[in-house]
Structure 1
Amino acid sequence: MRVTRPLAIDARDPLDPIDRRTLTAFLSDVDIDDVHVVVVIPAYNEAEALPAVLAAMPDRLDGVAPTVIVVSDGSTDQTRAVALANGALCCETPINRGQGAALRLGYLAALRLGATYIGVIDADGQWSPEGLVSGLDYLTSGRADFVQGSRVLGSTIVGDPVRDLGVKVFATLISRMARVSVTDTSSGLRLFTATLAGKLRLDQPQYQSSELLISAAFAGARIQEFPVDMVKRLAGQSKKATNLLYGWYYGRAALRTYLRERWIAPS
């Protein structure tokens, strides 16, 4: 998956054939009006953890019920059935492509539905959906265009010192790359305006949180963080690579995004 057009353009006519077919099928099944806040949940075989995440979703975000879209990334378990049974919409791809591809598809769906704000939260339960309420306030009050929860400002009990060190290292590197001040570049809880999303070019199929953050910074977004608590996943197994491989792939995605935004295809 290599797509570098702004999301606003690709939402109207996706270049990627899987995005195009999946989005068309999803929209043909959706019959809702007055979409305001869309929460995208990327999920790959998360049927065990997903019910608790959806149950904790705030009833109101900016005064209205959020539209929750679970993007089932080629899941082979009951992720789709669980999502639908718990009141969410489900956009399901035929194959597993990676969290970045799943999120990008979710953003395209949110833009097509006419969202004003887009939130993101992981499906494993490590980040509480209640944080969406605090994060959204930064957007609705005009203080930010992009906001993310930070375990560094809050807390984490995951207990992986190598990952904790990596969070600090990448925060320093990406802050310098993008000329922003952030403490947690791989947060699983983020919100941003749909207007900003439409300007972004995203092509990383995996390890995409750095791409999103760097792209937002180069698009001129006002970026804020707020404290959140990160806990251990509720169920299932992590799909992330080992610490060494994860660091390599994550860093490579960050560097590619920086080169693209700074030199190859600047806005």
Structure 2
Amino acid sequence: MPHATGPWAAHLLDGHDPASLAGSELPYETLLGLAPDLIVAIYTNLSQEEYDRLATIAPTIAWKREAGPWGTHWEDNARLLGRVLDRRQAAETLIARVHDSFRSIRERYPRFNGAHGIAGNSAGGTFVIRGSRYDTGSLLTGLGITYPPDILRRPGASPMMHFSWEQAHLISRDLDVILWDVHGGQDIPAMARRMEMLGVYPGEGRIVFNDATSLVSMAMASQSVLSFPYAAALIAPRLAAALAGNAPVPAD
């Protein structure tokens, strides 16, 4: 994406040419050269050491201890930025628009309401359930899809819960749909067969495999007041197809 900005926000650049700092390592020297007035790192897994170093460059806002890394809900994120930028009402307006978009989709697809589903992905020899307040999980619950109570009651439940495949029985009951991020090089049909063999879901037509590099996946991962309505409009028809048992296997 140009300037690491999706189409849900590109119109707000208004001719500006912001630097993209994407990468696995924090570019401290580059940040220092940019002389920012504020560094926002709320929805991250920023460590104390990284925070301390960033704070020497500019005032830095990170995740709160009670939320944990990657644990800040999209509404809390928006409200915190609204306070910092003295745009509280603008933040509330944008939050309300997200809920309006969710409500409109729930009305269009009433089968979402009360359906049981999870969002997840595989990581090495494990699989990950993305919590009900974490990007794709938060989007699912916004659309009316309910996480299985057993998952939410697990001790130490967190934004990202890691399981071995031998623990697949923990999520195999009463599951109507799965939204699954697919990372590069993964064999989607093989993954579908494995999940069906383990009884994780009732047939391959019940899972939405989503390319982690696609725009809709990036919009869900951004979990912002601008990206969520964009993502919801694109993913809703595919979730509806999955609930009817007609989701295509290939990721797009």
What TM-score do the two structures reach when normalised by structure 2?
A: 0.29
What TM-score do the two structures reach when normalised by structure 1?
A: 0.27
- Which structure has more strand as a fraction of its residues? 1
Greater relative contact order, per chain length (Cα 8 Å cut-off, separation 6+): 1
